[in-house]
Amino acid sequence: MIILTAQQADHVRGPTGNGAALDPRELPDGVFILPEAVLTDPNHAMHHDFLAAMPTRTVDIPAVSDE
């Protein structure tokens, strides 16, 4: 996952291209994440250079219950 601060998440959040958008998810520790797949998605090309410079780490995302 790409790791972002709140300010960096605000910078990339929103529409990108062809109806696509980025919406970084906040983790309990206060950091925001995006999947690394956005780096190869042409719809997000406007942010590729910026996001490629961000740190990455493995993140375990708990399953969401429908209960």
Residue 43 has pLDDT above 90, yes or no: yes
pTM: 0.86
pLDDT band at 64 (very low <50, low <70, confident <90, very high): low
Q: Which residues pair with 12 in a beta bridge?
A: none
Return all residues near 15 (Cβ < 8 A) that are at least 6 apart: 21
Other Cβ atoms closer than 10 A to 53: 8
Q: Which amino acid is at 1?
A: M
